[in-house]
């Protein structure tokens, strides 16, 4: 099969160049979510002012607190409203008083599935002055992006029990990957590799190759080998495309080599619909309310959102401001409580550089 760009939909297709006003749904969520979201909004406001577009924020109090008070996780009416937004900005989901899995499944995964956000995009970039645990690796060596399939695989939740509750109980969980689901993800990854125009190399991690784009070099690595190379020779990677569970696992490793969860941003994309952007770390409850959590991942996610809604220059300005903020040396470490600056000061610094 030789696909052409006319058959492949890209994120451009839904972007209206004349549009200058956007409705952004904000789900600050649990733990440190609200603190990092506040800094993300600060930077978004600054970017929209400088680049002449308008962002209307609509706030949703979804998360652990609402669940504890009302038993609601994601009411149908709220879901319907979110489907009408231009984009969603999410802080973090996960509450110490709520059994693990309930909010993650009922809110985060439900949104990804209901909005058909079939791409989970996770850039891995070592910024200047950021410490990586990999010896002798520089920003030039660590600059790739993981395209994680986001609606299938083991996350499909297919499976069940036989003889549940007995001594002979069997539990089955199936990984479902459809032709449609795999193809749209790999197509997206090819087009992204083209747009990045860096090494023009797409590495398939852990599945069999199904598509060819003449100008993009393809490569294949097993998931275990991908982990090994990511530590030993991260400079080999440009774009990696992989399934949902492998993508979940390798992007935690990838986050560490770029300096940790404080800087790791991600987007859940529906290139034809509503996307959602989030820092990929959790709600870090132990740091809540202390003004010491690193907001850079949330700010980076906000920047990715600007790119997706069609405000590319503003997106580049945010990316540049993050890089400048780090290059300035004012941020001592990316770890919570060790930044040398507070959460709000880091937000102020980035906003001042827009
Ligand atoms: C992530 C998270 C989620 C996932 C959890 C919270 C369900 O780890 O966004 O990577 O597994 O996708
Ligand atoms: Mn994860």
Which ligand ends up closest to the CA of 92? Answer: 1
Q: 101: pLDDT confidence band, cut at 50, 70 and 90?
A: very high
Cα–Cα dist 144/131, whole Å: 17
Least confident of 30-34, 172-176, 289-293: 172-176
Residue 12: pLDDT above 80?
Answer: no
Helix, coil or strand: residue 231: helix
Residue 193: pLDDT above 90?
Answer: yes
Pairing mode of beta strands 119-125, 265-269:
antiparallel
Residue 227's pLDDT is 96
Tell me which of 16 and 225 has the higher pLDDT.
Answer: 225
Percent of the chain with pLDDT over 90: 91
DSSP H or E stretch at residue 124 = strand 119-125
Which ligand ends up closest to the CA of 100? Answer: 1
Q: 8: pLDDT confidence band, cut at 50, 70 and 90?
A: very low
| Distance set, CA 204 to CA 61, 145, 176, 225 (Å) | 38, 12, 18, 12
For 22, the token pair is: 């956007």
**Closest C-alpha residue for ligand 1 atom 4:** 248
**Closest C-alpha residue for ligand 1 atom 9:** 280
What is the number of the ligand 1 atom nearest to the C-alpha of 280? 9
Pairing mode of beta strands 153-162, 170-176:
antiparallel
Residue 211's pLDDT is 67
238 lines ligand 1 (CB under 6 A): no
Nearest alpha-carbon partner for 340 in 349, 259, 281: 349
108 lines ligand 1 (CB under 6 A): yes
H-assigned helices in the chain: 33-50, 64-70, 76-82, 102-103, 110-114, 179-196, 223-232, 244-257, 296-309, 312-327, 343-352
Residue 9's pLDDT is 38
280 lines ligand 1 (CB under 6 A): yes
**Closest C-alpha residue for ligand 1 atom 12:** 248
Cα–Cα dist 4/19, whole Å: 28
Cα–Cα dist 151/335, whole Å: 31
Residue 3's pLDDT is 38
Residue 195's pLDDT is 96
pTM: 0.91
278 lines ligand 1 (CB under 6 A): no
Residue 18's pLDDT is 75
Pairing mode of beta strands 54-60, 21-29:
parallel
């Amino acid at each position: 099969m030789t696909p052409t760009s006319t058959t492949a939909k890209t994120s451009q297709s839904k972007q209206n160049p004349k549009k200058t006003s956007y409705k952004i749904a904000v789900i600050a969520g649990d733990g440190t979510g609200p603190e990092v979201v506040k800094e993300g909004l600060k930077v978004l406001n600054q970017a929209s002012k400088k680049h002449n577009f308008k962002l209307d924020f609509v706030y949703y109090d979804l998360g652990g607190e609402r669940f504890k008070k009302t038993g609601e996780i994601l009411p149908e009416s709220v879901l319907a409203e979110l489907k009408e937004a231009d984009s969603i900005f999410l802080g973090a989901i996960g509450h110490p008083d709520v059994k693990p899995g309930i909010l993650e499944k009922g809110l985060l995964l439900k949104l990804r599935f209901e909005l058909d956000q079939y791409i989970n995009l996770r850039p891995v970039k070592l910024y200047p002055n950021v410490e990586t645990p990999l010896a002798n690796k520089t920003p030039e060596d660590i600059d790739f992006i993981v395209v994680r399939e986001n609606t299938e695989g083991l996350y499909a939740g297919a499976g069940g029990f036989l003889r549940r509750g007995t001594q002979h109980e069997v539990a089955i969980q199936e990984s479902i990957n459809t032709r449609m689901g795999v193809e749209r993800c790999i197509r997206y990854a090819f087009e992204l590799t083209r747009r990045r125009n860096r090494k023009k190399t797409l590495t398939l991690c852990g599945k069999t190759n199904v598509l060819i784009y003449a100008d993009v070099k393809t490569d294949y690595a097993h998931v275990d080998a991908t982990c090994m190379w990511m530590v030993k020779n991260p400079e080999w990677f440009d774009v990696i495309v992989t399934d949902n569970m492998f993508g979940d696992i390798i992007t935690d490793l990838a986050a560490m080599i770029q300096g940790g969860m404080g800087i790791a941003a991600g987007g859940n994309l529906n290139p034809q619909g509503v996307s959602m952007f989030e820092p990929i770390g959790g709600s870090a409850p132990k740091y809540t309310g202390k003004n010491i959590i690193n907001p850079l991942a949330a700010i980076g996610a906000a920047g990715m959102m600007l790119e997706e809604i069609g405000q590319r220059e503003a997106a580049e300005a945010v990316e540049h401001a993050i890089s400048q903020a780090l290059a300035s040396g004012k941020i001592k470490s990316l770890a919570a409580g060790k930044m040398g600056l507070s959460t709000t000061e880091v937000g102020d610094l980035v906003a001042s550089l827009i």
